[in-house]
Homo-oligomer: A and B are copies of this chain.
Amino acid sequence: MSNIKALPLLEPEVDQGVVPCCPPLTERPLTAEEAERTAAMFKALGDPVRLRLFSLVASHEGGEACVCDISDVGVSQPTVSHHLKKLKEAGLLSSERRGTWVYYRVEPSVMAAMGQMLTAAAPAA
């Protein structure tokens, strides 16, 4: 017998697509659970290389890009792949393998939800 209990895992949920979360940050305080879920997305954009890669994918022709489309970011292709995977794990990108390459695409609903959290009406008066 063991006392070890299964802890809830966040990853699977995130991988299946993130449910856009939470009202504008000026509307009401986030609950601990909401903050936990959302901070992971902000954190994913909190690295300069990753943020730049995200903007490369987001602004690429057709709204998607593979590692083969990305150069000039000053890091190796494996590093690019690693960062793209992290962005996917955070729910910000989705991916699809086509032939040799995995193509990444922004999740517009997630991006919009994050944007909405920040684009508040006026702060509480």
A residues bordering B, Cβ < 8 Å?
25-32, 35-36, 38-40, 42-52, 54-56, 58-63, 73-74, 106, 108, 111-112, 114-120, 122-125
Kindly identify which residue among B31, B49, B111 contacts A118, using a CB–CB cutoff of 8 Å: B111
Q: Is the CB of A55 within 8 A of B25?
A: yes
Decide if the interface of chain A is mainly helix, strand, loop or mixed: helix
> What is the total number of copies of this protein in its complex?
2
Q: Is the CB of A118 within 8 A of B115?
A: yes
> What would 9 more interface pairs be, CB under 8 Å, given A60-B124, A112-B119?
A27-B59, A30-B52, A32-B48, A32-B74, A35-B49, A35-B51, A43-B47, A63-B124, A108-B122
The answer to whether residues A26 and B118 also contact, given A36-B48, A39-B51, A51-B39 and a CB cut-off of 8 A, is no
Distance of A21 from chain B, by nearest CB (Å): 11
Q: Is the CB of B42 within 8 A of A56?
A: no
14 pairs, CB–CB < 8 Å, chain A vs chain B = A26-B59, A28-B55, A29-B56, A30-B52, A32-B48, A32-B52, A38-B51, A40-B46, A42-B46, A45-B46, A62-B124, A106-B123, A116-B119, A119-B119
